[in-house]
Amino acid sequence: AQSVTQLDSQVPVFEEAPVELRCNYSSSVSVYLFWYVQYPNQGLQLLLKYLSGSTLVKSINGFEAEFNKSQTSFHLRKPSVHISDTAEYFCAVSEPGGYQKVTFGTGTKLQVIP
Amino acid sequence: KAGVTQTPRYLIKTRGQQVTLSCSPISGHRSVSWYQQTPGQGLQFLFEYFSETQRNKGNFPGRFSGRQFSNSRSEMNVSTLELGDSALYLCASSLEPGDSNQPQHFGDGTRLSIL
């Protein structure tokens, strides 16, 4: 069975500072990896995903994540955060197959401090 | 293009009652999935519907059921409500069912509180 661990439940960071949200996973097969963002009182939005190919994936709003197979990690980074990045971020891992195979992490709340 | 619409946004029920939640997918999307989100358990898959048929099911008791109509709209029903059913219920739609790498679009959820 697969699992995903988000090591930090909350991450406070000052505006314009860099941030890294950590995600580690375990699986016995090849997986897909995702980061979702959830703003207050809203549903999840896909931020970026790794399916195959280049291990570095980027979103349109400056976030990036790198798939590291040897360390079974998929950490999310941004070089300079904005107030608007305040939200909860979920890492997810999935084996090929239907959506029932997607396992979500417990989330990391990113709080950007002005 | 309208997004995924869930109604109602908030709901308060008491133990033992039943509840029905509704989800209208993005126009043209035919696959609808339901998730339960709680602080303790995180986000958990409930079930997926396509062409009015349940395609996949998560590990939830039979009190949780759903259905999909010919226009792809979906409803989720929970009977004999328990305090532990208090959660945010999210619906997600996608064009077609298929591999889990296909993008899903989430609604804003229905927050169910059980008193």
For residue range B25-64, what is the model confidence (pLDDT) as tens digits? 999 999 999 999 998 788 999 999 999 999 989 999 999 9
Find how far residue B83's CA is from the centre of its chain.
18
Pick B42's closest partner by Cβ from A94, A98, A105: A105
Question: What pLDDT is recorded for position B41?
Answer: 83
Contact between B46 and B64 under an 8 Å Cβ cutoff? The reply is yes
| Predicted local confidence at residue A53, as pLDDT | 87
Residue owning tokens 């208090």: B86
Distances (CA, A) of A30 to A25, A35, A65, A72, A94: 11, 17, 17, 11, 9
Sign of the C-alpha dihedral computed for residues A49, A57, A81 and A109 taken in this order: positive
Which amino acid would we find at residue A114?
P
Q: Which residues of B touch A94 (CB under 8 A)?
A: 100-101
Mean pLDDT of A99-105: 85
Tell me the chain B residues in contact with residue A102 when contact means C-beta distances shorter than 8 Å. Answer: 45, 100
Residues B93 and B31 sit within 8 Å (Cβ to Cβ): yes
Asked if the C-beta of A100 comes within 8 angstroms of chain B's C-beta atoms, the answer is yes
Taking only the tens place, the pLDDT of each residue in B80-105 is: 999 999 999 999 999 877 677 777 89
Across residues A85-108, what is the average pLDDT? 89
Q: Which residue would you say has higher pLDDT here, B104 or B8?
A: B8
Q: What is the pLDDT of residues A1-10, one digit of tens each?
A: 789 999 899 9
Q: What mean pLDDT, rounded, does chain A reach?
A: 92
At residue A105, does pLDDT exceed 70?
Answer: yes
Query: Do strands A24-26 and A3-5 pair parallel, antiparallel, or not at all (unpaired)?
Result: antiparallel
Sign of the C-alpha dihedral computed for residues A67, A102, B40 and A87 taken in this order: positive
**For position A2, what pLDDT does the model report?**
83
pLDDT at B1 over 70: no
pLDDT higher than 90, residue B65: yes
Q: Which helix (H) or strand (E) holds A75?
A: strand A73-78
**Confidence grade of residue A22 (pLDDT, cut at 50, 70, 90):** very high
Whether residues B101 and A51 touch (CB distance < 8 A) is answered with: yes
What pLDDT does residue B8 have?
A: 97
